[in-house]
Structure 1
Amino acid sequence: MTTAMRLSWKDVRDQIHEAILTGRYMPGDRLPRDADIAEDLNCARSTVQRAMQDLSDSGLVERRRKGGTRVRPDPVTRATLDIPVTRREVEQKGSRYGYQMIRREIKTAPSRVLGVFELAEPQKMLQVEALHLSDGRPYILEDRWICLRTVPEILDVDLAHQSANEWLVLNKPYSRCDLRFYAESADDQTADLLGCGTESALLVIERTTWVEEAPITTVKAITAPGYQLLTRS
C-alpha cells in the first residue's frame, strides 16, 4: 500500500507497531526488508531504519546486522531515550542556553574511537570539544568524533555558533545508536571546565550512532554535578 503523503519515522513506527499488536506479524516472524517497507509506504529507507531502531529500543523487535529484523519471541518493555538537542533541553527547563567551542580539529582517530566505530583501518575524522552552558554555568562537556566519510558536510557547518550535537540530530538520521552510562572522577582539566572539585563523581553518557553500517559520530558527554536524566516508557 502506498500513501500520498510522506510519512515521518513515527508514522512508520506506529504502523509496524500496530501490525505486531494485531497479529499480522507474530512473535518470531521476520519483517520485510527495510527497503521493501520504504517502497510500500512511499517513504525514505532512512525513515524506516529510524522507526525500526525505535521499535528495537522499545523491545518489540530485534535487529541483526545482515540478519534482518524479527518480532521478538519474548517482547520486553524498555525505557526509551531519544538523543536530545542540548539547547532545547536547557531551554525547556526555563534556563538560558549558552555554547562554547573549545577545539575543532581534523586528525587521525585514536584506536579507542576506531574500536567503538568497529573500524579496522585508521582514518582521519573531525574531533570537536565543546561546552554547553545553562544560565552561564557549565552543563555538559562533550568530546565528539565525527566520521568524515559519512558526514563530509559537517566541514561546512560553523561549529563555533551551532553545536555539532544540534546539527547532527536535525540533519543526520541514524539507524542504530549505542549508549553507555557510567560515573568517573573529574580530573583537573574537567573539574576546571565544569566548575567542580577535582575527583567529583560525574555522570558520563557515551553515544555512538550509525546509518546502516556507516559510523556517524561518537561522543563522550560529561555532565556537571546535579545533572538529571529522564527517560520515558
Structure 2
Amino acid sequence: MREPDTKSWRGVQTELLRRINEREWTPGSLVPNEIELAQEFGCARTTVNRAMRELADAGLLDRRRKAGTRVALHPISRIVLDIPIIRLEVEQRNAEWRQNLLEKTSCVPPASITSRLGLDSKTTMLHVRSLHYADNHPFLHEDRWMNIDALPGVETVDFAAISANEWLIQNAPYTTGDIAFTAMNANKDIAEILEAVEGVAIFVVDRITWNKGEPITCVRLSYAPGYRMNTKI
C-alpha cells in the first residue's frame, strides 16, 4: 500500500489517525504542535491545521488554546456505516433487482465535483449514471463520478453487467469517506427518472470515498419516495 501523501490534509489526517490507532500517541498524551508537524511532513501549517481540526471534530483529539493538543482520553462514540451493495439491499427487501445503465462517459466534471475531490479542474473522470429497480419499480438513481487515475482499467468495465456500486466495493479499497443525508424535493429530471411527482420529498445520499488521501469516487444516490433507511449502532 502507498504511503499517505502528507502534502495534502487528508494524507496528514491518515498518518495522524494511524499514530492514534496504533498507540504511537497514547490517550491523553500531548502531540506535537502544528509547526512541528508541518516541518516533519514538509507541508504548510494550514494543511496540518485542517487535518487536526477534522480529527478534533471526530472526537479523537482534544484541542485547547494555550494548552496544546492531546489525544482524547474518552473518544466520542460514533456510528459506523458500511457502504451497501445496492443489489443486495434490494434483494434483502424480498424484491428482484435490476439496473438500467443510463450513461457512461469520460469527461471533465463540473467544478463543484473537482473542487470537492481536490482535483485539478481539467481532470477527466468517468461519469456513470444508473437507475436501480426493485420489482420493476424505480428504487434509486445512482449518479457517480469516478477517478480514472485511481482506478486502473475502470473505463473498460461493463457497467451494464455489474453496477458501478458493486464493482467499486469489490475492487476499490478506501480508507475514509464523507457522507451526507438530505431530504430534498425532486426536480423535474429526477422525478421523471424515478417515476414520481415533481416536488415530492425524496431521500438523497451524497458520498465521497478516499484511499490514503486519493479521491476514489463521488456519488449521489436519489431514492424513490417512501424509502426508509435502517442501520445499527
1:183-232 C-alpha deviation (Å, 9 max, x unpaired): 22111221111111000111110010111121100001101111111222
Query: Where in structure 2 are there 5+ consecutive unaligned residues?
Result: 1-19, 32-54, 62-69
Counting aligned pairs with the same residue, the percent is: 33
Cα distance in 1 for partners of 2:73, 2:158 equals 47
Measured at CA, do residues 154 and 28 of structure 1 come closer, stay the same or move farther in structure 2, by a change above 3 Å? farther
Query: Where in structure 1 are there 5+ consecutive unaligned residues?
Result: 1-15, 31-55, 63-69
Residue matched to 1:149: 149
Matched, 1:196 2:193: no
Cα distance in 2 for partners of 1:61, 1:186 equals 37
Residue matched to 1:26: 27
Secondary structure in structure 1 of the residue aligned to 2:219:
strand
Aligned structure 1 segments of 4 or more residues deviating by more than 2 angstroms: 24-30, 59-62, 70-74
Matched, 1:95 2:88: no
Q: Could you state the TM-score of these two structures normalised by the residue count of structure 2? A: 0.71
Verify the 8 A CA contact 1:60 1:71 in the aligned structure 2.
no
Matched letter for residue 185 of structure 1: N
Query: Greater CA radius of gyration, 1 or 2?
Result: 2
Secondary structure in structure 2 of the residue aligned to 1:149:
helix
Cα distance in 1 for partners of 2:184, 2:216 equals 25
Cα distance in 1 for partners of 2:218, 2:118 equals 12
Q: CA deviation at 1:25?
A: 4.2
Measured at CA, do residues 71 and 183 of structure 1 come closer, stay the same or move farther in structure 2, by a change above 3 Å? same
Residue matched to 1:206: 206
Cα distance in 1 for partners of 2:154, 2:85 equals 17
Secondary structure in structure 1 of the residue aligned to 2:153:
helix
Residue matched to 2:229: 229
Verify the 8 A CA contact 2:103 2:130 in the aligned structure 1.
yes
Measured on the aligned residues, the alpha-carbon RMSD in Å equals: 2.3
Q: CA deviation at 1:27?
A: 4.0
